A and B are shown apart, each in its own frame.
Chain A
Amino acid sequence: MTEKKIRVLIAKPGLDGHDRGAKVVARALRDDGMEVIYTGLRQTPEMISEAALQEDVDVIGLSILSGAHNALVPEVIRKVRENGQTDVIIFVGGIIPEADIQGLLDKGVFRIYGPGTDTRLVSREIREAVQAASRVD
């Protein structure tokens, strides 16, 4: 029996060119035993939802430093749900102003992790959330 692995898509929507944070998180999740699909910079919401669909991921991590989160994140969530992936957990990393956080959480974001977050916290919370959602195949 092959063991079920948690599959995570790490993507950077929008136009900023800083992917260090995304790579640090990707590496941390890998080191916690997850399979991380990394798609790199400058992704549109369509590209992200399509990759999530083809890869059948459990989790999507969006790294945004450009300030366009209020436009991009809800669009990704909408498209992913539209594709039928209703149980996918979506988290956001990057610089998100305090005032915007609640709005994003209300739209279905699982957590928002700002700069300096301990990556062990990220992987622990993700693991717990996936187990709680425990998709049965």
Chain B
Amino acid sequence: MALMNDLREGNRFALSRVLSQVENNTPAGLQALDDLFPYTGKAHKIGITGPPGSGKSTLVNALTKQLRLQERDSRVAVIAVDPTSPFSGGAILGDRVRMLELQNDPDIFIRSMASRGALGGLSSQTEALSQVFDAAGFDFILIETVGAGQSEVDIVNLAHTTIVVDVPGLGDDIQSIKAGILEIADILVVNKADRPGADQSRRYLKAMIEMGGRSLASSAGKHRLAPALQNKEAETIGEEDVLWLPPVLKTVASQFEGIGELVSEILKHQDFLKSTGRWKQKESWTLREIVRKRVSGSLERDFFQELPAEVFETQMEAVIARKVSPTTAVKNLLSYNQKSRKPQLSE
């Protein structure tokens, strides 16, 4: 608890330790999340995603600097996720190399994270880390995903504003109408815009957004909402109120070009979310996802704790010998646990 108080008072050592406990999912970490939860819900979480080498880290560096310039009293946290090697379980976390100029500002805190086997572009604990920063009083939390392709879209469940970074020459107009990463953008950025083809890329992206037009603009908000909420939304908020057409900006992050405009769009999006009630909807969606994930995580843990290892092994041998299908094995295992379980639901 002393650590919690230190953290709330701005002690960076305490913050860093709690971040580790939470990342490692230790009992102390889980307790910390519980203690800190009442203080969360204030920070603006901004996701930055895009293909490897598109300049995400450099853009985060520029964005953080600009946010500190423009919003003078704000504190900015950065969570930078890099991939874990599927073979060794190790990782090289190299995003800080692009953020060296942010190092000596006490109102900035950068934490690198390995994805640790998660496939959606984040780590399973990224959301939890963002809660710690939120409770520690950071106003903006920038979350940089691993280099993402077309389906690493977890960031959308976490961020209020998702920025998708593209670079000139990556693909034609067919690439840009595919589903996936471009669809999740609240703001699209063509970075490295000093390279040939930047205007063409921007045109493709703009065309994609205009082609989708109204349907895309409204679904861009809707696909983040749980089905129950979607209906509710349709009743209470008219389509006109919820139109956000993602702007397409050109930047050269390494030269600091276009960054002021990007920050303005981020703040505009924040206003939009708050004035249309979407901010609250997003929060409720994120919290739903958290609880859902915790439920499935703890069910899985309990299941395997309850299941004797030899029962699992026996089933697996049958599967490996191709005598039993995986689906049947799952049924057998589930029913084994059900039979052996005593009634245990408490109030």
Interface residues of A (CB under 8 A from B): 1-5, 7, 26-27, 29-40, 43, 46-47, 50-51, 53-56, 83-85, 137
Contact = CB atoms under 8 A, between A and B. Distances in A.
Contacts of A32: 88, 90
A56 B19 contact: yes
Contacts of A50: 103-104
Interface of B: 12-13, 16-17, 19-21, 23-26, 28-29, 84-85, 88-94, 96-97, 100, 103-104, 109-112, 114, 116, 124-125, 301
24 contacts: A2-B23, A2-B125, A26-B92, A33-B89, A33-B90, A35-B114, A38-B93, A38-B94, A38-B96, A38-B97, A40-B97, A40-B100, A46-B104, A47-B100, A47-B104, A53-B16, A54-B109, A54-B111, A55-B111, A55-B112, A56-B19, A56-B20, A84-B13, A137-B29
Q: Which of A37, A51, A56 has the most CB of B within 10 A?
A: A37
A2 B24 contact: yes
A118 B25 CA distance: 34
B93 A56 contact: no
Nearest to B113: A35
A43 B125 CA distance: 29
Given A32-B88, A51-B103, A56-B20, 6 more contacts: A4-B26, A39-B97, A47-B103, A54-B12, A56-B19, A137-B17
Contacts of A54: 12, 16, 109-111
Contact of B92 (A5, A30, A51): A30
A46 B106 CA distance: 12
B251 to A, nearest CB: 22
A55 B99 CA distance: 14
Contacts, number: 97
A2 B93 contact: no
A7 B112 CA distance: 10
A86 to B, nearest CB: 11
A27 B93 CA distance: 11
A30 B13 CA distance: 25
Given A2-B116, A35-B91, A56 B16 contact: yes
A1 B24 CA distance: 7
B90 A34 contact: yes
CB-based closest 5 A-B pairs: A30-B90, A56-B16, A40-B97, A84-B13, A33-B89
A77 to B, nearest CB: 16
Contacts of A40: 96-97, 100
Contacts of A1: 25, 301
Contacts of B24: 2-5, 137
B103 A37 contact: no
A34 B89 CA distance: 7
Contacts of A83: 12-13
A37 B104 CA distance: 18
A30 B89 CA distance: 8
